Amino acid sequence: MKKTISIEGMTCHNCVRHVTEALTEIGGVSDVKVDLEGKKADVIVNPQVTDIALKDAVSEAGYTPTAVASAE
């Protein structure tokens, strides 16, 4: 399942690395692509991964998740 997380507060490629590492550490996340200019992260997750877990990981990395959208 693909999900897109809208993220505020990323300003550089170091931010991209922090968000990528935080999301990759979640069990059930198989792919992460963070788009600095688009202010988002596209993730491939299994159905057990909750939107709250994704938002929490982004928050703990120091950024603000504003929305999570599913794409089939």
Q: What is the pLDDT of residues 16-63, one digit of tens each?
A: 999 999 999 999 999 999 999 999 999 999 999 999 999 999 999 999
Q: The tokens of 56 are what?
A: 């929490």
Pairing of strands 40-45, 29-35: antiparallel
- Residue 72 pLDDT: 62
Supply the pLDDT for residue 63: 98
Show the domains of the chain with their CATH numbers: 2-71 (3.30.70.100)
Flag whether the pTM goes above 0.85: yes
pLDDT at 71 (0 to 100): 78
What letter would DSSP give residue 50? -
